[in-house]
Structure 1
Amino acid sequence: MPQRRLSVGTVDSFQGQERDIIAITLTRSNPQGEIGSLSDIRRMNVGMTRARRKLLLVGDSSTLCRHPFFGELLAYVKGLGGYRTANEMGKQD
Structure 2
Amino acid sequence: MHIHDHPVFGERLREPVTFFFEGKPYQAYKGESIASALMANGIKKLGLSRKLVQPRGLFCSRGRCCSCYMTVNGEDHVRTCMKEVEDGMEIFTNSEDPDVRG
Identify, as 1 or 2, the structure richer in helix.
1
Identify, as 1 or 2, the structure richer in strand.
2
What's the TM-score once normalised by structure 1's chain length? 0.24
What's the TM-score once normalised by structure 2's chain length? 0.23
